[in-house]
Structure formats: C-alpha cells, structure tokens
Structure 1
Amino acid sequence: MTDSKSNYDVVVIGAGISGIIGAYELAIDHDVLVIDQGRVANDATSRASGLISTPQVFPDMPAFGAYAIDFFEKFSGTGIFSYKPRRKIQPVLNGGEAAARQHAQEQSEQDNPVHYYDPHEFNERFPNVARLDALEGYDGVLEYERTGMIDPMDYAHSLKNQAKSRGAEFRTDTEVLDVLVDNDVVAGVETEYGRVHAPKVVCAAGWRTNELLADHAELPVRPFRWQAVEVKLSDGLPTAYPMGSETSMEVYWRPINGDNLLIGGRPITVGSPASEPSTITDSFQTMVREQLPELLPVLEDATIVREECCPTGDSATPDALPIYDTPADAPDGLVIATGFQKGGIMSSPCTGAAIRSLVADEPAPFSLEPFQLSRFDDRSSDFPLMNIYTAFRES
C-alpha cells in the first residue's frame, strides 16, 4: 500500500446506507475512504423495506422528518434512483384521538400535511382499505401525504456512485480491527491489511459499532432482526392503495412487485446474528394470516409467497433513536452514527447531514441534541426492544 493510499481526511467504517451517505456528504470537500468487511450495501441495507415515512416514525421531530423527505424528493432521478410518493395511513388506537389531532396540526404547519379522520370519514375517503368502523379499538386514522417508497439498492448504489464522483473511495472485503488513538486523539484505523491514517473516523458499522469501539466508547446498542413476508393478493391491489402501519400489532405494509404487499415488523431480539437462526416467528405468521386480515380486507385469501428474516442483524438503542455524536468521553475525532431501529434508510438523509455537521463542525439542519450519547445514564446493551409505533397510544 503506497503512502498516498494510506492517508485520508476521514475514514468511514461501514458501507451500509449510513456510511455511504456520510461519504456522499463529506466527499465534496474531504478526502474520504469508506471501509467495509463485506460489500457495499450488502447487509441490513439490502434487506430494508424501502418505506419512507419519517414524519410518522419521528412524530416529535418535524424538522428531522421534513429534511429527509426533502432529500428524497430532490435526489429522485439521480442515477437509477426514483422516489415514488405514496400516502401512508396509521390507525389510531382508542384514547389517542386528541394527541393524533394535535400531531396532524403540528405536522401540517411544518409543510408535512397530515390529516385525521374518524372511522366513517376514513371509509368514505378510502373505501375497502380498512374496517375501522367494524372493529373495536380504534378512534380513527391518520393519513400522511409526504411519504413514499424507494428501492433501497437503487438508492444505495446511486448515492455510492455520486460519492465516488465527488472523490470518495470504497475499500470492500477489508475488516477494520481497531480505531487507532494517540494521546486520546484519533489517528486512523487498523485493518487486516495494514494501517490507514486519518484525523477523523466515522463509525457507522451498525450493531458491530458497539464491539468495534469497546475500548473507546461504551454504547447502549444491540442487534435485532426485522421479519417480513410478501403476500400475493387474490384480487390484486387497488390503484394507489396506501402504505400503512398499525400500533398494537407492530406491523407495517407497503405495495411491492405490482399487486403484492410487503408486510413487516415485530423485531426479534437476538444476541449474535451470526450464531442464531434467521427465521420468522410463528407469532408473526399468525398475525399476518389471522389478525391483520381482520383490519385489511385485501388480505383475505392472500398467499404468502416469500418470507425473510434479516440474516445480518440491525442495530437498536433503548429509545429506538439513533446515536449521532462525538462523545466527550471518547477520543477526539471519533464520530458515531448507529442505532437505526426506526429506519436506517428513511432517516439516512438526516444521518448524512449529522455526520457532515459533526466532522466539519458545521450547524446541522435540525437539532442533534436528541441523538447525543449523553442522553443515556445506563449504557448497558441489555435492554428490551421498543415498539416504534407507540405514538398516539393510550398511556
């Protein structure tokens, strides 16, 4: 390895969507190297749902949600990437009407139009989508306008190509063994093929971030698996059928492959994805076959044509929010971006902006305070996974 290839301004560990978009944001004025032990976008990114709904998943952070949607809309048409707007619904459980109405008003004031409908109003607007008026347990439904769908791999590789055109380099099939530190200041990384020197290191290695930084920062991050099925509908999918999610079942759905639906959710706690089986649970299958059709009539007589349980694992924190930080108790020059239970793909534009802000010491387009590591008093990795759809539930 020549000297010119072993010195960079920034090394990014991890070529998933977070590392890719971090490189994309930095490469415009930094010499960036992205290193991954496998291939680009080959792990959790390649298994992502492609459902984009930051205004719904981050209800208390309208600026965060709007920034992500703005990015997808503007980036659409770049390379092979296309953002497809599609409305999303979320049934509101009993006791959640007041909070849901307030949320709809606040989001709409932030240019993220959200509407609240009681069951009768909703069924008039969306006939035969959901049986809200025939089921107990629901006050109404929220409808989100600024949501949509993408192909995760088209997105990842379009971003990678743009990052490379800005000068970023990608080094795959290369394991990072450690972060190099000299007098409590980052000096680069040690890889299986030698050292790479850099004054800034961004660790965006998913749940492995916790293990990789064990000697440098204590992180409350643990692995988990998403599970999903693709179902073929007996009568096909109605035109413009909305995406959606349901709180109590911890489930989402989105159109896929023409007349099919992708149904996912109910994260599975795992200790080590490499050593534990990757199969969907019986309870998830039962929910898809028996419970969800009671709400969504299109699922009657549907057939499961594909099952998937993410074999590589994703990363979670105790509050399901990511960590974007340069922790005070970590070496200077170390940037952490991990913990994407709420959607690494959908929040990736914000991840890129946060990484840019932390590396270049520039203001971020939204507050980074909610994502600081210091919010956790307990940094243990032994915690239950949070239901990310808990907004608007009765407390």
Structure 2
Amino acid sequence: MTVTLADVTAARAALEGAVTPSPMLAAPKLSALTGAHVLVKYENLHVTNAFKERGAVVKLSRLPAEARARGVIAMSAGNHAQAVAYHATRLGVPSTIVMPDTTPHVKVAATRGFGAEVVLDGETVAESQIRASAIALERGLTFVHPYDDPDIIAGQGTIALEMLEQAPDLDAIVVPIGGGGLISGVAVAAKALKPSIEIVGVEAALYPSMWNALKGAELPVGGPTLAEGIAVKNVGALTRPIVESLVDDIVLVSETELERAVNAYLMHQKTLAEGAGAAGLAALFARPDKFAGRRVGLVLCGGNIDPRILASIMTRELEREQKIMAFRMTIADRPGMLGIIAGKLGELGANIIEVHHQRQFLDVPAKGATLDVTVETRDQAHAEAILAAFNESGMPCRRLDGGAAG
C-alpha cells in the first residue's frame, strides 16, 4: 500500500486546530426507511461543508516554504476547490483553481469567496486537469490533486479513525467513489483497525469508472448527473490498487435513487446533502437486501448543493409520493366551469397550485377546452379519491406524469 495506517494517524495530527472532528449520529428515521441500522458521519458540517478539507490541510501543511510562496493549483468540480482555497488562504498560500464550465454557480462563487483565482475550463474534471497542469508548469505552482496523492488519501482516511472511535461496532462503511481518494483512505484505516468491517463504494450509474476499472467492464461513462462531485471518468493510479485490495463491493445508483437520498437527508435528518454526499444513502435504497439489519456507517461527504436543484428535487419527490398531482380534463367552454371545478377541489380538500386552460388544439371540441390542474394532496389515497370523484361526477379526467402539461 502507498498509504498505511501510520500515514493516516500522522495525518490526523496535522489536522489538529485546523479541522474539527465531525459528529456521527444514529439516524432512526433513515433506519426505518432502509431496514439497516444507520449512522451518519456529518462531513457536511466543516467550514467548506465537505470532507475535502482533511486532505487539503495535510497536503498544504507539508509544503516547503518555497513552494508555499509560489502557490498551489488544483482542478475540481467544487469541494476540493473550496477546501484548497480556504486553507491555502488561511495559511497565506496563493491558490488557483481550474473548474469545469459545468460546475454549479454556488460552488464557483464559494471558491472565489475563499480567496482563490478561479479559471473555468472544460466540460469535465479530466479536461480541467489538462488546463491546470499547463498553468502549473507555466507558473511553477504545486499541483494539489483531488485524490491521487498520498497526503490527500491519508487525510481523507482520518474519517475512518473517527468513525470507528465513535461507533466501533459498525458492520459496514459506505463511501462515495469519484477518483477514489476518500474510499482509499477510509479503507486503509478501517481495514487496519477492524479487518472484518465491510467497505462498500458507491458510484453514480452514469459514471461507473471504478466499477469498469476493477471488473474489466465497459459500461458507458458520461451524462448529466446530480452527483457531479463524483462524476469522474478516470480513476486514480494510486487509488485503484487500494480499492481493488481493500474495498469489498461497489454499488451503482440511479439518478432517481440519488434524488430520493438528497430529499431524505433534508426531510428526515434536516441536513443538506449534495448528490455525491447522498450517494451512500442512495446505495441503501438501491440494495436494501445487502444492508438489512446491519450497522452501517454512511459518509455524508458534502452538502454544497445548488438551491435551485434542491427545490426541484423536493418538488419531484412530492410528485413521486403523489403529494402533488397533475390531471387533465376536457370541459365545456362556458362561464362558471372553472368555479365549479375549483369548488369541487375545495370540497375534496385539495389545494390548487396551477391551472392551464387550452382552447387551440384540434383534439379539443370547438365548444370545449382542455384544463390541466396541479394540486397538493395528502397522499396517494387522497390523489386517487380526487380522480375518482371527478370521474364519477361526469367530469372525466386522467393523471398527468411529472406535473401540469401545456
């Protein structure tokens, strides 16, 4: 191993006074949802709201004076960027961060706010790395890799030291995988302290890079994912052999499972998780059979989610739970019809969110109109009762998927 338990222990000493150990708490509501005994490691509570501060502090604190004076550069989709920017500024080290053009604005703004020069270049982190490497050579900057660096891996591994102190009886730790730095550090430390513990990695199904590398598979890699923090096409040269040796399994999770996990953290734990941060919980949703009845530690690795994306996720989850329902009916185009429908919805206890009236389509009778209505309901049974009541009263309607249609 390029990183050992001794390295992780030494990294922990470097964090003292710079990164506060994060809490790890039982999550009974998530346990009820998943069938596992869930404990959450809240890495979203650091200053930059993500675990990346650990590795960044270890790397930056070990730079020689000359390298500190010249400055550092990194490429990142957000959390590594903010960690390097914040702690570099704290230590008086100039920092430049190359970020993909697709990085959420909230992460770009936060990185600049922590004092870094931000360069936007490329569609992916891999493309950003090309530009970062060129700038590093041009300016003589030290490259701070987000995952493929022994200091970074050792720093991230301190999470496992804390988890096994906080909950020594864990059966498994579930860790998101991007390039592999986090899970490598966690696996090195956890397996050294407790060889019987199972380490499970999680990748977005759209970016199964480590899965492909270890299994010799050729699943397609790419596409828009909620978990942009782990949307990595190339795994690390240092991390791959560690993962291959110490990680017991990898679970691929869908975008729907990631959305559900982000929403569950917000609704049940009252905490923010970005898509990558929620990947561990998404794995429990994807494979409940694997984790049922076991004590499982989830690394909530980051909470930097775009508020607009979060609002969309919440609405979509309400639709999936049928607490928001859209339906369409064809009505007579005469005065008073909207009032009749609104009154009936009120009697049924539904709250109207949106109404769309359409007279122009050829499939609508000349003396008729199409009415799309989106309403708030209590639950699936209430939604079905509303549809049944309209159909039974001679106003046929049908459900629309995904909200009101125009």
Q: TM-score, normalised by structure 1?
A: 0.24
- More relative contact order in 1 or in 2 (CA 8 Å, sep 6+)? 1
Q: TM-score, normalised by structure 2?
A: 0.24
In terms of fraction of residues, the more helix-rich structure is 2
